[in-house]
Each structure stands twice: as C-alpha cells, then as structure tokens.
Amino acid sequence: MLRYIARRLAYLIPVWLGISILAFALALLAPGDPVRQVLQAGGIDAPSAEQVIALRRELGLDQPGPVRYAIWLGGAVRGDLGRSYRTGEPVLQSLLDRFPRTAALALLAVSLGLIIAVPLGIVSAVFRDSPVDQLARLGALVGASVPSFWLAYLLILFFAVQLRLLPVAGASEPRHIVLPALTLAIGAAASLTRLTRSAMLEEMFQDYVRTARSKGLRERAVVVTHALRNALIAIVTITGIRLAALLGGAVIVETIFAWPGIGKYVVDSIFIRDYPTIQGFVLFTGTVVLLVNLAVDVSYVWLDPRVRLGGKTR
C-alpha cells in the first residue's frame, strides 16, 4: 500500500515539473513586450527607455528564459509565485484566498451530481429499456449537450427573473451558491448518470453476478453489494476527473455568477495579461488536479483488492 502510494508520487514529480515548465512558458508565447504592456496598463502610454529598462529589471525580465524559470520555480516551491501585475498582491495568497469559494462550489456541485446520477444510473441499468431508462438517457443526453453558459442563464431567467426566488450573482449570502452549483451539478449529473448506467450494465452480465443470483441472493443484494461495488471504480474515476476540473476553477460559471473563486480571478487577469497570475493559476490548478488524481489512485486501493495486492494497476 505505502509502496503503491510512493510509486504514484514518484510518477507525479516529473509531471508536476512538466506542468511548471508549461505554466512558465505561457508568458513566452505572448506577442508583444510585457514590460510595455504593464506600463500601458498603469497609464503610461509612451514610456521612456529608462522606464522600460528599470521595470524590466524590476520584474526580472532582463534575464534569459531558463534563468527566469529557475528563479520562478525556486520561488514556487517555497510558496512564492510572484506578485500580480494588476493588484500587486502575492499571487499565491490571492489564489488561496479564493480557493475555498471554488472548492465549496465544486464539492456541492459534484455531491449534487452524484446524488442525482448514481441512483438514476442504477435504476436505468437495472430496468434497461424501460420508460425510466429512456427518460434517464434522454436527460443525460440533453444535460451533456447543453452549454453550461446557456443553462446558467436559463436558470437565472427562471429562478431569479421570473420567480425572484434566488439572487442572480454575487456571494454575500449562502443562497448565492445555489444557482452556480445547480448549473454545474446538472452537467456533472448528466455524464455521471451515463457512466453509472454503462458501468452497471457491464457488471450485470459478469459471471460473478450470475453466480450471486444462482446461489439465491436477493436481486437487491446482487445489484448493490456485487454489481455496484465493482462499478464504483469507474464512477470514482470519472467523479475524480469532474471534481478536479471544477476545483481547477469553473471559469465560465464562476464568471457568469460573479462567484469570487479562482476561475473568475483568472478570467479577470487574462484580459489584462497579468502573466504572474496566469502562470501561478496554471501551476496551482495543475497541482490541485494532480493531488485529486492521487487521491483517486489511492481510493482504488480500497475499492480494488487487485491494486492492493500489487497486481495490474490502471
């Protein structure tokens, strides 16, 4: 078990370094001179040569790329991602300040999604081709096809504009989280229903299920303790991917609902090319995703004894 986790960790380190290179290299992609852009953003339209040179040195941009990367990475591992060009605040602190909002939204959305999807997917698989199954499949298809940014506005139109039940945007009271969470939950529920259904169907035809039935186990026990138990691996995997994506910032939904998470923060930073923030965000998000993936890998140890016993790992 410990060896398994250690092996996963050892694999994550090169990937994390790759993510850091990618995050850093983003700024090198940018057209134009960032120093001039910062000065212009600060209201200096025609900066003098001295101003440009001074700021270039101040931002450390007079060094060659690899040196800058080394300095940046050195800071990053000590918890320093530089300062935002826009606000002057430390990037890591700004991200950490906003992350709880993003995490709350992500966890609520994924939990809601699971609560809808798992029972629906099971019923859909057990009563395959029944009206319930057909309805669930239609719902999953529509839920997976409707763009979140449209769904968000349909919900706003209905709950905020028509019924005046819920606030449109902001985060000052707890009920502000309802609409963004619902928007994200519907998308998550759609793909999780589909997945639960197909994972359950795959298990329901396995030999061990037939064995369980033939030894006289009640159907309920067959479904829940046998088939579902094995389908869980697939469900946990996709839930992890979903959760990781939302923890990385539901950029569109956070922006629409003015939800002050890291997703909205990076969108605000992108248009003014606040490179330290963009780079920090990418590294931060990549790290969060790696950690969620690690947690999913570790959960396999409990879910699948073959992993624990050192057999085939995914």
Partner 1 sequence: MIGTKARDTLAASIADGHALAPASSRPGVFRALLAHRTGVAGLVIVAGVALIAIAAPLIAPDDPTRIDALRRLGPPSADTLLGTDNLGRDILSRLIWGARVSLGTAALAAVLILTIGVGLGMVAGFYGGLLDDLLMRVVDVLLAFPALILALAIAGVLGPSITSVMIGIVAVAWADYARVMRGQVLSARERQYVEAARAIGVGNTRILARHLLPNVLPPILVLASLEMGGLILAISGLSFLGLGAQPPTPEWGAMLNDGRSFIAAAPQLMVYPGLAISIVVVGFNLLGDGLRDAFDPHLRI
Q: Give the residues lining the site for partner 1 (CB under 8 A).
A: 14-15, 18-19, 21-22, 26-27, 29-31, 141-142, 144-150, 153-154, 156-157, 161, 187-188, 191, 194-195, 197-199, 201-202, 234, 237-238, 241-242, 244-246, 248-249, 251-252, 255, 266-267, 270-271, 273, 275, 278, 281-282, 285-286, 289-290, 293
Closest CB 242 distance from partner 1, rounded Å: 5
Contact (Cβ atoms closer than 8 angstroms) between residue 180 and residue 254: yes
Dihedral pair phi/psi, residue 83, rounded to 5°: -115, 145
Looking at the Cβ atoms of 31 and 174, the one nearer to partner 1 is 31
Number of helices and strands in the chain (H, E): 15, 0
Length of the chain: 314
Closest CB 278 distance from partner 1, rounded Å: 6
Complete DSSP assignment for 270-303: HTTT-HHHHHHHHHHHHHHHHHHHHHHHHHHHHH
Torsion of CA 171, 176, 181, 183, to 10 degrees: -110
Four-residue CA torsion sign, 176, 179, 184, 186: positive
Closest CB 50 distance from partner 1, rounded Å: 28
Looking at the Cβ atoms of 39 and 200, the one nearer to partner 1 is 200
Closest CB 298 distance from partner 1, rounded Å: 17
The continuous run of DSSP H or E covering 254 comes out as helix 251-256
CA angle 72, 260, 191 (to 5 degrees): 95
Looking at the Cβ atoms of 91 and 282, the one nearer to partner 1 is 282
Q: How far, CA to CA in Å, does 227 sit from each of 32, 203, 210, 217?
A: 57, 5, 11, 13
Closest CB 230 distance from partner 1, rounded Å: 14
Looking at the Cβ atoms of 218 and 306, the one nearer to partner 1 is 306
Closest CB 245 distance from partner 1, rounded Å: 4
Looking at the Cβ atoms of 35 and 199, the one nearer to partner 1 is 199
Looking at the Cβ atoms of 170 and 218, the one nearer to partner 1 is 170
Dihedral pair phi/psi, residue 248, rounded to 5°: -70, 0
